Amino acid sequence: MLSILRTVGEVLRHTFAPRETIQYPEQKPYLAPRFRGRIILSRDPDGKERCVACYLCSAACPVDCIALQAVHGEDGRRYPAFFRINFSRCILCGFCEEACPTLAIQLTPDYEMCEYDRSKLVYEKEDLLISGPGKYPGYNFYKEAGLAIEGKDKGQAENESPPVDVRSLLP
Amino acid sequence: MPTIYIDNRPCTVAAGLNLLQACLSSGFDLPYFCWHPALGSVGACRQCAVKRFKDEKDTRGELVMACLTPADEGTRIAINDPEAVQFRAGVIEWLMLNHPHDCPVCDEGGECHLQDMTVMSGHTYRRSRFPKRTHRNQDLGPFINHEMNRCIQCYRCVRFYHDYAGGTDLNVFACHDHLFFGRFEDGPLESEFSGNLVEICPTGVFTDRTFKAHSSRKWDLQTAPSICPHCGLGCNTLPGERYGELRRVRNRYHHQINGYFLCDRGRYGYEYANSDRRIRQPLQVRRGQAPATPLTAEAALAQWAAMAKGAGLIGIGSPRASLEANFALRRLVGAENFYAGLSEPDACGLETVRAILTDGPVPSATLQGAGLSDAALVLGEDVTQTAPLLALNLRRLRYRKAAVMAAGFQLPVWNDAGVRELAQLNLPNLFIAAPHATRLDDEAAGTLHVPVPELLRFAQSVAAVLDAPEAPAADPGDPVTALAWQSAQALLKAQRPLVVAGMALGEPALLQAAAAIAARLKAMGRGAELCLCVPEAGSMGLALMQARALTAAMARGAADTLVILENDLWRRSAPEKVKAWLAQARHVVVLDHLATATTAAADLALPAAAPAETAGTWVNNEGRAQRAYAVMPPADPARSSWRWLQAMARSAGRVDLNGWQTIDDVAAELARTLPPFQTITELTPAVTVPTAAGKLPRQSHRYSGRTAMNAQRDVHEPKPPADPDAPLAFSMEGFDGPQPPGLTTRDWTPGWNSEQALHKFQGETAGLLAHHDPGRRLIAPAGKRQSLQMPPPAASPKLAAGEFQLVPLHFIFGSEELSMAAPAVALRAPKPHVGLGPDNGFAVDGQAVWLRIGDLLTEQIVRIVPGLAPGLMGWPVGLAGMPPIVLPAVARVEQ
Ligand code: SF4
Ligand code: SF4
Ligand code: SF4
Ligand code: SF4
Ligand code: FES
C-alpha cells in the first residue's frame, strides 16, 4: 500500500517538475565552447591561416581521417595546400585539437552536419577554414617561432636578440 | 671481450669500444650528440655523462663522458645515477636555451635526434626567460636548406663535411655562443657528399631542400629497401613515397657498401620518378610522324601481337634495367637475338671487367674494404665523378694510416680529435694517375696527369718495379717512372694494397694493366684487392649475362621487330646510325619509364615501372647481387618490365612464360639458365609470407590519413594494392617484429625516431646489421688465369698544331641519365662545354672556340680543367646539349 502511494507521489512530482527534454530542432540546447562538434581551422590575429601543416593532428587522429599536404609560400609561411577531414570517419574525439601546436584546429559546438550521402561528409580546407581565431583569440605561432616570414625578420620574434654578426669576435 | 657493469648488469662487449658504444650495443639508451658511429668521439656536447665507480664498494663515483672513456674490463658505470641524470638534464637545458620554437614548421620534426634526446633527458619545460640568439641563414644551393637558429654546436657537420668528406667550403665561424656553421658566403655546397649533412646534423639546421617542395613526416612515408639506380656501386637506399609521389631518398645502412653515407647523385636523383617525362600510358608513337595517341594496355598488346607475327624479333637490353627485366627480354626474343644495349667501348670494358674478376686471382674489394686498404693506386679513373662513394671511402685511407699509428700511442681509434691530429702528419699512400686533376688529388701522396698511352707506360713501370723491387727508379727525372717507383714501393710495403681502375676512359687496356699489377701483388702474398668501377647499376649484371653489344645487333642489318628495354640508344652509339637503323626496322617497341629520343622513334611505347616501383635484382661492381623492392606500386597501366614482356609473349601466342607468377620465378629460371646467377635464389627469403603474422608493412604504425587521402574521389577506402613480388605489404598492418636485414622498411625504434635508431639494428655500433649484411657475391676469383701479362703499350696519336685528342670528362651531376631528370641535380650540372688544360695556348676559360670534329663543325665554350694534359681536350660524357660525338675522336680548333 505504502509503495503504491509512493509511486503515485513520484509520478505526480515528475509531472510538475521542469522538463529536461527540449523541442529539438525548434529549441536548441546550450552547448559550452568546449563541446566537441564540427571541426574548424582558425586564423591567427593577423587574419592569416594558423595551420602550419605540421601533420601532428593527422598523426594523432585515431581513425586516420585527416589528410593534408604542406607547402611553403613565397612569404616564408608553411601552410596546407589541401586539408581534408573525412567526417564520416571522425569520432569527434578531439585528439587533433589536443595535438595542434598552433591552436589552428578546433572542435566547435556545432553538430548538425548529418548527410544522406557519405561523400558529402568529406570536408576540404575551404569548408573548414573560418575567418577568425575561434576559441583562442590571442595566439600567433609565427610571433613565437624562429622562422623569418614576410613582415617578421630574424630576431623580431618574441624574446629574440637581433641576428648575430658572424664577422665580429667581440663578446 | 671485456665485461663491464652497466647499472649493475654485467655486459660483455667487443674490445676497444668506448662506454657510449658499449651502452648502445648492449641495448641501453644513453643520450648523445657529438659522437657518431662513423665519426668517433670528440666530447664536445657533454650530453653522454655517466657515473663511473672504482669498484663495487665505491658509492661516490665520478662523472665521466661515456664517449671518451674506454670500456675496459671490469668498468662499473651507472646511467641512471641521480647525479648523472641531473647533469644530462642540465646539459640539454643549456643546449636548448637558444633553440627556436620551430618544431611544427621544422622539416626535421618527428625524426629529430634533438627531440628524441630532449625527451630522453627529461627536459620538458623552458625555464629561461632570456632572449634567444638568432642567425641569418645562407642559400646553400638546391640540395640543402639552412636554418641556423636551430644549431646546438655539436660540430658534427664540420667534422663530416670537412674532416671526413674532404669538403673545403663549409666551416665554423665566429666564437662563443655566436658560432655559425656554414659557408664563407652564399652558394651551393661544393662537396659531392653534402646531402649527408641532412642525416649527420642532429637538428633541423641542414635539411633536404628537395624534400621541402613536398614535405612529409617520416611516419607518413611509405618506405621499402631499395638499391640506388644511379651508378654501379649498388648503395643501399630507403626511398620514401607519399600520395603516389617519390619524395626523398635516405641512406640504408650496409656495412660493406655505403655504410652511413650516400652521394648527392644517389640522394637527389630520385625526382626522375616524378618527372613530366614519365610515360604513364601505352602510346602509339608512329615514329614521331604524328602526335602520339594513348592506348589501353589491351589495345597496345593487340598491336604488339600483330607486329610479333613477322619473321624475327631482336631484343635490346639495358644496363639501367634489373636482371629480371633483361632476362625476361632474353627469354622473349631468344638468347641468340638478345643484345646488351651497350656502346661498343662499354661492352668491351665490361667483358674485360668480368673476365678479370671471374678468372683472375685477385678478389674485388667491397667499398668498406677499399677504405681499409693501406696503399691504393688509382689508374685513370676520376672516382669522385664515376663512383662517388668509392672516393669517400678512399678518403679513409688517411685515417686508416693514422689509426695504425694511434695504436702505438695508446690512443683508441674512436678518439677522433687525437686520430685526426695524427692523420695531419702525413698523406696516405694514395697515388692517382689520370688524364687530369681529380677531386681526390688533395688526398694523394702522388699524382700524375698524362694521356692514356702514358698511363699505360706508367702501369708498365709500376709492374717493372714490382718485378724488380730492389732496382732504383729507371729515370728519376721522368715524372711517369718517378711516380711509378714511388707508388710501387708503397704498394710493396702494404699488407692490403688496392688497385682501382674503371671504364671511364673507355680503355680496357687500363683495366688489364690494373689487374696485372694487382695479380703481381697477390702473387707476392699480399692481400691485394681490385676495385673496378662500372658505369651503371645494371652494368655488372649484363656483363655476367655476356650478351653482345648494340653494334653487333646493328651489324645484322635491318631488323624485323625490335624490342628495346629501358634504354635510350641515342646514348649508346652514333645517333645518325641509330636513327637509320631504327628507321629500317619494320616495327619498334620500346619499354621505358622516361620518354627519350628512342621512345619518340618507336611505333609503340609501353609504360614500364620506374626502379622505385618494382622489385628487381641488381649486381654491383664487386659482383654482389642485391634485391630492391618496390617502394610504391606503379600507377596502372604501368607495370614491371618483366610483366610487360611476359604479357607480350602471351599475346603473341606463347605459353612458355606463363609459369612466372612472381619475380622469384623469373629469378629462379635465370638461376637455372645462366650459371653465374646460380645463387641468386638465396638472396632473400621467398616472397611468400615470411611469418604467420603476415607480410612486413611498408607503412609505419603511425601512417596517417588512411581514411581521408582518397576520400575526395571515393569515400570508401580502397583495398591496399597487392604485391606478389615482395614479402612486404603496401599497408600499415602485418608482421611487427624485428625485420631481417635486406627487408628493413624503416630505421625506427621506440624513443629513437631519427636515423640514429640504427644502432638498435646492428650487432654493435657501426657493425653488421643484425650480424649479417644483405646481398650475395656472385663472383669469386677462380685464379684460372695468372693475368700477369701487361697490355701492349699504346702509341701516342700524332696531332698537328691546333689538334686535340678528345678524352671523356665525367660529371657526378650531368653524366648519368636518370638523375638528370631530377631538377635539383640538373641545376648542379655543368653547361655544355669542352675542357682544355691550363696553358693550352688556344683559349682562356669561358672563351668560345669553333671545333671541327670529323664532319662536324661546332662552337663550344672552353672551361679550364685543372691538370688536363697537353694535347687533350675534355669532352663531357652524357651531358645534355653536347653534340653527339663517338669517342675516340680528334678535334681541330678552327681559327
Ligand atoms: S576529432 Fe578525433 S577522429 Fe575526429 S579528426 Fe580529430 S582526432 Fe580524428
Ligand atoms: S596540428 Fe594544427 S598546425 Fe599541425 S597540421 Fe594539424 S591543424 Fe595544422
Ligand atoms: S631541430 Fe628538432 S627540436 Fe629543433 S625545431 Fe627542428 S624538430 Fe624541433
Ligand atoms: S649545424 Fe647541426 S651538425 Fe652542425 S653543429 Fe649545428 S647542430 Fe651540430
Ligand atoms: S656524445 Fe659524448 S660528449 Fe658528445
- Tell me A137's DSSP state: -
B107: closest chain A residue by CA = A54
Give the CA angle between residues B170, B175, B180 to the nearest 5°.
35
Q: Which of B219-233, B446-460, B671-685 has the lowest mean pLDDT?
A: B671-685
Q: Are residues B677 and B812 in the same domain?
A: no
Last residue of a domain, one of B642, B661, B689: B689
Task: Say whether B712 and A56 touch across the interface (CB within 8 A).
Answer: no
Identify whether B888 is preceded by a cis peptide bond (ω within 30 of 0): yes
Give residue for cell 624513443.
Answer: B751
Query: What is the distance between the alpha carbons of residues B676 and B476, in angstroms, rounded to a whole number?
Result: 46
Sequence-distant (≥ 6) Cβ neighbours of residue B530 within 8 angstroms: B356, B357, B360, B362, B363, B364, B365, B498, B499, B500, B501, B514, B515, B518
**Position B146 pLDDT exceeds 90:** yes
According to DSSP, the residues that pair with B145 across neighbouring strands are: B207
pLDDT tens per residue, range B377-393? 999 999 999 999 999 99
Contact B274, B245 (CB under 8 A): yes
- Indicate the helix (H) or strand (E) that contains A162: strand A160-163
- Please tell me the distance between residue B46's alpha carbon and the centre of ligand 5 in angstroms: 5
pLDDT tens per residue, range B280-319? 999 999 887 878 899 999 999 999 999 988 678 999 999 9
Positions of E strands within B546-688: 561-565, 587-592, 604-607, 616-619, 624-628
Mutate to test the interface with B, among A54, A143, A153, A167 (most CBs of B within 10 A): A54
pLDDT computed for residue B691 by the predictor:
60
**Ligand 5 shell residues, CB under 6 Å:** B 20, 32-35, 41, 43-48, 65, 67
Query: What is the distance between the alpha carbons of residues B14 and B768, in angstroms, rounded to a whole number?
Result: 13
Among the atoms of ligand 2, which is closest to the Cα of residue A68?
5
Residue minimizing CA distance to atom 6 of ligand 2: A57
pLDDT computed for residue B318 by the predictor:
96
- Mean pLDDT score, B800-823: 93
pLDDT tens per residue, range B561-609? 999 999 999 999 888 899 999 999 999 999 999 999 999 999 999 999 9
Query: What is the distance between the alpha carbons of residues B277 and B283, in angstroms, rounded to a whole number?
Result: 13
For B182, list phi and psi in degrees, rounded to 5.
180, -155
Task: Say whether B104 and A146 touch across the interface (CB within 8 A).
Answer: no
Which grid cell is B80?
Answer: 641512471
Among the atoms of ligand 5, which is closest to the Cα of residue B67?
2
A85: closest chain B residue by CA = B708
Architecture of the domain made up of A31-141:
2-Layer Sandwich (3.30)
pLDDT computed for residue A40 by the predictor:
97
Task: Say whether A146 and B129 touch across the interface (CB within 8 A).
Answer: no
B223 domain-assigned: no
Among residues B364, B314, B777, the alpha carbon closest in space to that of B547 is found at B314
According to DSSP, the residues that pair with B805 across neighbouring strands are: B872, B890
Task: Say whether A164 and B214 touch across the interface (CB within 8 A).
Answer: no
* Partners of residue A166 in chain B, C-beta under 8 Å: 135, 173-174, 178, 180
| 3-class SS string, B366-424 | CHHHHHCCCEEEEECCCHHHHCHHHHHHHCCHHHHHHHHHHHHCCCCCCEHHHHHHHHH
- Please tell me the distance between residue B837's alpha carbon and the centre of ligand 3 in angstroms: 47
Positive or negative: CA dihedral B702, A68, B628, B720: positive
Nearest C-alpha of chain B: how many angstroms from A114?
15
**Position B785 pLDDT exceeds 70:** no
- Please tell me the distance between residue A60's alpha carbon and the centre of ligand 2 in angstroms: 10
Query: What is the distance between the alpha carbons of residues B766 and B253, in angstroms, rounded to a whole number?
Result: 9
For B172, list phi and psi in degrees, rounded to 5.
-105, 135
Among the atoms of ligand 3, which is closest to the Cα of residue B205?
1
B837 domain-assigned: yes
Task: Say whether B134 and A160 touch across the interface (CB within 8 A).
Answer: yes
pLDDT tens per residue, range B681-696? 887 665 444 566 788 9
- Please tell me the distance between residue B439's alpha carbon and the centre of ligand 2 in angstroms: 45
Instruction: Please report which residue ranges of B771-886 form alpha helices under DSSP H.
Output: 823-828
User: Which percentage of chain B shows pLDDT scores above 70?
Assistant: 98
- Tell me A74's DSSP state: T
Residue B32, helix vs strand vs coil:
coil
- Across A105-130, b (16+ Cβ under 10 Å) vs e yields bbbbeeeeeeeeeeeebbbebeebbe
A78: closest chain B residue by CA = B105
Last residue of a domain, one of B95, B125, B149: B95
Which grid cell is B582?
Answer: 631504327
How far is CA B787 from its chain centroid? Answer: 30
| Total number of domains constituting chain B | 3
Out of B129, B136, B708, closest to residue A65 by CB: B708
Which of B95, B108, B154 has the most ligand 3 atoms within 8 A of CB, as the residue to mutate? B108
B651 domain-assigned: yes
Q: Are residues B668 and B546 in the same domain?
A: yes
- Indicate the helix (H) or strand (E) that contains B583: helix B575-584
- Whether B198 lines ligand 3, by a CB cut-off of 6 Å, is no
pLDDT computed for residue B689 by the predictor:
47
Q: Which listed ligand is nearest to A85 at the C-alpha?
A: 1
Give Cα separations from B785 to A128, B360, B361, B467 (angstroms): 74, 5, 7, 18
- Tell me B795's DSSP state: P
Give residue for cell 599497408.
Answer: B731
Query: What is the distance between the alpha carbons of residues A9 and B67, in angstroms, rounded to a whole number?
Result: 81
Q: Higher-confidence residue: B469 or B766?
A: B469
pLDDT tens per residue, range B153-193? 999 999 999 999 999 999 999 988 899 999 999 999 999 99
- Across B445-468, b (16+ Cβ under 10 Å) vs e yields bbbbbbbbbbbbbbbbbbbbbbee
**Position B862 pLDDT exceeds 70:** yes
Task: State the CB neighbour count (10 A cutoff) for residue B784.
Answer: 11
**Position B196 pLDDT exceeds 50:** yes
Q: What is the CATH number of the domain that holds B568?
A: 3.40.50.740
Task: Say whether B131 and A102 touch across the interface (CB within 8 A).
Answer: no
**Position B895 pLDDT exceeds 90:** no
Among the atoms of ligand 5, which is closest to the Cα of residue B68?
2
* Partners of residue A80 in chain B, C-beta under 8 Å: none
B301 domain-assigned: yes
Which of B94, B148, B151 has the most ligand 4 atoms within 8 A of CB, as the residue to mutate? B151
Instruction: Please report which residue ranges of A66-140 form alpha helices under DSSP H.
Output: 95-99, 125-128
pLDDT tens per residue, range B83-130? 999 999 999 999 999 999 999 999 999 999 999 999 999 898 899 999
Taking only residues 238 to 267 of chain B, the set having a beta carbon closer than 8 angstroms to any beta carbon of chain A reads 243
Nearest C-alpha of chain B: how many angstroms from A67?
4
**Position B894 pLDDT exceeds 90:** no
DSSP letters along B417-443, please? Answer: HHHHHHHHHS--SEEEEESS--TTGGG
One-letter identity of residue B459? A
B149: closest chain A residue by CA = A146
Identify whether A25 is preceded by a cis peptide bond (ω within 30 of 0): yes
* Partners of residue A102 in chain B, C-beta under 8 Å: 104
B139 domain-assigned: no
Nearest C-alpha of chain A: how many angstroms from B703?
7
Task: State the CB neighbour count (10 A cutoff) for residue B364.
Answer: 26
**DSSP 3-state helix, strand, coil percentages of chain B (rounded to 5)?**
30, 20, 50
Task: Say whether B104 and A159 touch across the interface (CB within 8 A).
Answer: no
The pLDDT mean for chain B works out to: 92
Taking only residues 723 to 742 of chain B, the set having a beta carbon closer than 8 angstroms to any beta carbon of chain A reads none
Last residue of a domain, one of B672, B689, B706: B689
Out of B132, B219, B714, closest to residue A59 by CB: B219
pLDDT tens per residue, range A86-134? 999 999 999 999 999 999 999 999 999 999 999 999 999 999 999 999 9
B790 domain-assigned: no
Q: Cβ of B149 under 8 Å from any chain A Cβ?
A: yes
Mutate to test the interface with A, among B97, B105, B242, B715 (most CBs of A within 10 A): B105
Out of B105, B149, B220, closest to residue A78 by CB: B105
Query: What is the distance between the alpha carbons of residues A157 and B663, in angstroms, rounded to a whole number?
Result: 56
Sequence-distant (≥ 6) Cβ neighbours of residue B424 within 8 angstroms: none
Q: How many residues does chain B have?
A: 895
* Partners of residue A58 in chain B, C-beta under 8 Å: 220, 704-705, 708
pLDDT tens per residue, range A7-53? 999 999 999 998 888 899 899 989 999 999 999 999 999 999 999 99
B812 domain-assigned: yes
pLDDT computed for residue A44 by the predictor:
94
- Whether B156 lines ligand 4, by a CB cut-off of 6 Å, is yes
**Position B59 pLDDT exceeds 60:** yes
Give Cα separations from B807 to B112, B381, B874 (angstroms): 46, 12, 5
Which grid cell is A21?
Answer: 527534454
Task: Say whether B132 and A159 touch across the interface (CB within 8 A).
Answer: yes
Contact B499, B376 (CB under 8 A): yes
Nearest C-alpha of chain B: how many angstroms from A100?
9
How far is CA B860 from its chain centroid? Answer: 32
- Tell me B80's DSSP state: S
Residue minimizing CA distance to atom 3 of ligand 2: A51
Give residue for cell 692481400.
Answer: B527
Positive or negative: CA dihedral A23, A25, A28, A33: positive
One-letter identity of residue B29? D
Nearest C-alpha of chain A: how many angstroms from B351?
49
pTM of the model: 0.94
- Whether B154 lines ligand 4, by a CB cut-off of 6 Å, is yes
B626 domain-assigned: yes
* Partners of residue A163 in chain B, C-beta under 8 Å: 134-136
pLDDT computed for residue B688 by the predictor:
47
Which of A44, A56, A66, A124 has the most ligand 2 atoms within 8 A of CB, as the residue to mutate? A56
Give Cα separations from A83 to A58, A103, A122 (angstroms): 10, 15, 10
**Position B426 pLDDT exceeds 80:** no
**Position B237 pLDDT exceeds 60:** yes
For B788, list phi and psi in degrees, rounded to 5.
-80, -15
* Strand-pair category, B226-227 with B236-242: antiparallel
Q: Sheet with A78-86: list strands edge to edge.
A: A66-72, A78-86, A122-123
Q: Are residues B549 and B676 in the same domain?
A: yes
Q: What is the CATH number of the domain that holds B878?
A: 2.40.40.20
Among the atoms of ligand 4, which is closest to the Cα of residue B158?
4
Tell me what ipTM this predicted complex has: 0.92
| Domain limits for position B40 | 3-95
B243, HSE (Cβ side, Cα atoms, 13 Å): 15
**Residue B761: band (very low, low, confident or very high) from pLDDT cuts 50, 70, 90:** confident
**Inter-helix orientation angle B323-333/B641-651, to 10°:** 20
Give the CA angle between residues B837, B842, B799 to the nearest 5°.
75
Among the atoms of ligand 5, which is closest to the Cα of residue B45?
4
Q: Cβ of B176 under 8 Å from any chain A Cβ?
A: yes
**Position B839 pLDDT exceeds 90:** no
